[in-house]
Amino acid sequence: MYAFMAAKQQSTDSVTAYLIGACDVCAWSLAPAEWLRRAFRRAGIADLRSAGEPWPEGGTVILVRADVILEEVLVKALIGASETALTIDGAVAAAHVPAARAAEVASAIEAGAAAADLRHVGPAELASTYNHALRKRAVPYALALTEGSRLAVEKRMFRGSYKGVTDFVTKWLWPWPAFWVTRWCAARRISPNVVTAVSLVLVIAATWLFARGYFAVGIVAAWLMTFLDTVDGKLARVTLTSTKLGNVFDHGIDLLHPPFWYVAWFYGLQASTTPAETLFLAGAAWIIVVGYVAGRLQEGFFLWRFGLELHAWRPLDSAFRLFTARRNPNLAIMTAAAVAGAIETGFLAVALWTLLSLLFHFVRIGQAMRRRRDGGTVRSWLAEGTAAAP
């Protein structure tokens, strides 16, 4: 059983978080103490105290150095790991101890000494290296922040906010510019929802431009939207400002807008075609739109039937996700077609790729069902061999 899963089951009512020392250096325009406060609140711990405040009289205490940033999964894991010390490069960064021992252990941490009688573990031992929500495998970060390490810390936190299984544009092209734009937004306290709102405006603008036949300008607007779609999620994760409403807002736009673009592509094309060509393009439009809905249903069915994302099952599925017929790969096809002066050909290529992608996923779903029927397990390859130490 993963430590973080045990943490979810443990009540936080008797747990106090206590920050040791102070740190004036900021990452993503947040002091580590503020990051930790947000992380603990999201984990359900309401009692958060800073150095100089009284020690709690009962329960347990999670001690954390105020110059340390812990990934949320480690915060949750610490809640379920009493009598445990988390170390960074051999030094204790955090510990979960009974309240009666809090002052003693805090003094040892400040002095850089080992905390006696505690189980000392690193991040990979404390929590699972498999992040189900982000569909990736990575050692959770526990980072000591100094003026000299700030940029490196921010880059590591940004990498930690990225999904491991996604399309090739998001995975390979957007990270570098998205890092700097996310950093710019964080410095100006721009909320993720504001970024999402701008992306919604771009969705509408691109739809109108496509429908009017202004494909070149529409493609620019569409790519800007997909870029901001990367920025808003990363901004929410690195500043711990994600909310349920923001999540619905962002993912609702992501889910609903692609068919409008596909229909707009058709209307932009059919204005200059013969009736026979229009009928042919209409068939392609139906394939793309229905194929998009069917693809989403395939993913939903796989998640319902097997409890994991279709694209996270085996390495083949994760690799195919890079190019499967979703918004960004489809937009890449249309962009290449626009550059070549062959928009209609690009539209037909998107329809063909949609059919091939659907066929691939139908085969994979069938193979997974057969494996389950034969008594085998259907488990993400990313989760294999990643259980935390007990």
- pLDDT tens digits for range 261-286: 999 999 999 988 888 999 999 999 99
Nearest to 263 by CA among 304, 211, 301: 211
pLDDT digits (tens, 9 = 90+) for 304-318: 999 999 999 999 999
What pLDDT is recorded for position 287?
A: 98
Whole-number percent of the chain with pLDDT over 90: 80
- Residue 242: band (very low, low, confident or very high) from pLDDT cuts 50, 70, 90: confident
d(CA 79, CA 55): 18
DSSP 202-240: HHHHHHHHHHTT-HHHHHHHHHHHHHHHHHHHHHHHHTT
**Strands 130-131 and 136-137, bridge-based pairing:** antiparallel
Place of tokens 């960074």: 88
What pLDDT is recorded for position 389?
A: 35
> Of the ranges 91-95, 107-111, 289-293, 341-345, which one carries the lowest mean pLDDT score?
107-111
What pLDDT is recorded for position 320?
A: 98
What pLDDT is recorded for position 385?
A: 61
Nearest to 237 by CA among 176, 157, 174, 150: 157
Cβ count near 390 (within 10 Å) = 9
What pLDDT is recorded for position 9?
A: 40
DSSP 252-268: HHHHHHHHHHHHHHHHH
Q: Which amino acid is at 351?
A: A
d(CA 209, CA 223): 13
pLDDT at residue 3 tops 50? no
**DSSP character for 120?**
E
Q: What is the mean pLDDT of residues 287-309?
A: 97
What pLDDT is recorded for position 184?
A: 98
pLDDT digits (tens, 9 = 90+) for 201-225: 999 999 999 999 999 999 999 999 9
Q: What is the mean pLDDT of residues 249-253?
A: 91
pLDDT digits (tens, 9 = 90+) for 12-40: 778 999 999 999 999 999 999 999 999 99
Alpha helices in the chain (DSSP H): 3-9, 32-42, 72-79, 102-111, 123-126, 150-160, 168, 175-187, 192-211, 215-238, 244-270, 275-306, 315-321, 327-339, 343-373
pLDDT at residue 57 tops 50? yes
Nearest to 40 by CA among 78, 81, 92, 3: 78
pLDDT at residue 7 tops 80? no
Place of tokens 């429908």: 211
Average predicted confidence (pLDDT) for the chain: 91
Q: What residues have CB less than 8 Å from 221, skipping those under 6 apart?
A: 202, 205, 206, 209
> Of the ranges 7-11, 248-252, 308-312, which one carries the lowest mean pLDDT score?
7-11
pLDDT digits (tens, 9 = 90+) for 128-186: 888 877 888 889 999 999 999 999 999 999 999 998 999 999 999 999 999 999 999 99
Q: What is the mean pLDDT of residues 325-340?
A: 97
What pLDDT is recorded for position 137?
A: 87
pLDDT at residue 8 tops 50? no
How much is the pTM?
A: 0.91
Angle at which helices 175-187 and 150-160 cross, to 10°: 110
pLDDT at residue 296 tops 60? yes
Q: What class, spelled out in words, does domain 3-130 have in CATH?
A: alpha beta
CATH architecture assigned to 165-382 = Up-down Bundle (1.20)
Domain locations in the chain as residue ranges: 3-130, 165-382
What pLDDT is recorded for position 78?
A: 93
pLDDT digits (tens, 9 = 90+) for 79-129: 999 899 999 988 999 999 999 999 999 998 988 877 778 999 999 999 988
